[in-house]
């Protein structure tokens, strides 16, 4: 196989410099790409590419056919950038998962976008929760109750229901507070801010 590593285009990173790695098999090159190893000057195999540093290798066969072998980290990054939407971020933060698993070795503009979207969602959720709890406390106060003495008997719940229905923006959440079901309250609040399935951060390959 007559192979050349050539400079290549990329919307995320650049390819390795052009030179001829004679004696390197296609299988070996694929293994190196999987391990993010780049050829260096003098065939130094010690350089490890991460994130946007490089895309991979372009192989040109003797008949002119070309194929691209992409680095493992480039493929990971491409999957993140083209697969991450506002709903993806919502799913992560609403489940209390680690958002920073999306932010390892990524472009600054992507990191900024993820943090902006997550920050807005967390702020919206937090404000809503505060408003619901304030409304709940106000209703209890009007009924001469407090959070240590809840209106849980039949008559108390009936009166609470009447007052809660005067706040249609959060009636169901107010009852979840009355029932002291914080888990379902959190889930209900997050569902209010679930984004539409919009386009990903980028669709470029």
Q: Is the same domain home to 78 and 88?
A: no
Between CA 37 and CA 44, with CA 40 as vertex, the angle to 5 degrees is: 80
Q: Is position 201 within any domain?
A: no
Of 53, 48, 18, 17, nearest to 35 by C-alpha is: 48
Domain count, the chain: 2
Q: Which of 56, 83, 110 is the last residue of a domain?
A: 83
**Residue range 170-202, pLDDT digits in tens:** 999 999 999 999 999 999 999 999 998 776 776
* Residue 141 and residue 105 share a domain: yes
Asked which of 83, 98, 132 is the last residue of a domain, the reply is 83
**How far is the C-alpha of 100 from the C-alpha of 119, rounded, in Å?**
13
CB–CB of 179/150 below 8 Å? no
Q: What is the mean pLDDT of the chain?
A: 78
**145 and 72: one domain?**
no
In a domain, 203, yes or no: no
Does residue 199 belong to any structural domain of this protein? Answer: no
Q: What is the pLDDT of residue 9?
A: 36
Are 74 and 98 within one domain?
no
**165 and 111, same domain (yes or no):** yes
Give the residue, 40 or 205, on which the prediction is more confident.
40
180 in the same domain as 89: yes
Q: Say whether pTM exceeds 0.85.
A: no
User: Tens digit of pLDDT for each residue in 23-43?
Assistant: 566 777 777 777 777 765 444
134 is a domain residue: yes
CB burial class (10 A; 0-12, 13-18, 19+) of residue 156? Answer: middle
| More reliable by pLDDT, 4 or 151 | 151
Q: Do 106 and 127 reside in the same domain of the chain? A: yes
57 and 104 in a single domain? The answer is no
pLDDT at 16 over 80: no
Please report the pLDDT score of residue 65 as a whole number: 75
Domain that holds residue 5: 1-83
| CA–CA gap between residue 106 and residue 154 (Å, rounded) | 56
Same domain, 89 and 174: yes
**Whole-number pLDDT of residue 116:** 93
Mean pLDDT of 79-85: 78
8 Å CB contact between 4 and 66: no
Residues 103, 185, single domain; the answer is yes
Euclidean distance between CA atoms 71 and 74, whole angstroms? 5
Query: Residues 28, 61: one domain?
Result: yes
Instruction: Give the domain-ending residue among 83, 102, 136.
Output: 83
Burial class (CB in 10 A: 0-12, 13-18, 19+), 95: exposed
Dihedral (CA of 10, 16, 19, 21) sign: negative
- Token pair for residue 96? 């209390």
* Inside any domain, residue 89: yes
What was the pLDDT predicted at 104? 75
pLDDT at 51: 61
Q: Which two tokens stand for residue 188?
A: 């209900």
Least confident range from 79-93, 111-125, 182-196: namely: 79-93
Helices 182-191 and 86-94 pack at an angle, to 10 degrees, of 170
Quickly state the pLDDT bin for 12 (edges 50, 70, 90): very low
């Amino acid at each position: 196989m007559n192979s050349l590593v050539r400079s290549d285009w990329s919307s995320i990173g650049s390819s390795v410099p052009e030179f001829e790695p004679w004696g390197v098999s296609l299988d070996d090159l694929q293994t190196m790409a999987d391990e993010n190893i780049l050829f260096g000057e003098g065939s130094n195999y010690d350089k490890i590419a991460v994130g946007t540093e490089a895309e991979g290798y372009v192989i040109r066969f003797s008949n002119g056919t070309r194929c691209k072998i992409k680095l493992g980290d480039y493929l990971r990054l491409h999957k993140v950038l083209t697969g991450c939407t506002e709903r993806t971020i919502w799913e992560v933060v609403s489940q209390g998962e680690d958002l920073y698993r999306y932010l390892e070795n990524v472009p600054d503009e992507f990191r900024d976008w993820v943090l902006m979207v997550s920050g807005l969602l967390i702020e919206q959720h937090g404000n809503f929760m505060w408003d619901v709890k304030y409304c709940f406390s106000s209703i209890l106060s009007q009924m001469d109750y407090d959070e240590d003495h809840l209106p849980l008997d039949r008559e108390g719940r009936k009166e609470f229901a009447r007052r809660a229905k005067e706040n249609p923006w959060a009636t169901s959440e107010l009852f979840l507070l009355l029932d002291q079901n914080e888990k379902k309250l959190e889930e209900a609040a997050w569902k209010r801010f679930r984004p539409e399935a919009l386009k990903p951060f980028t669709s470029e390959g």
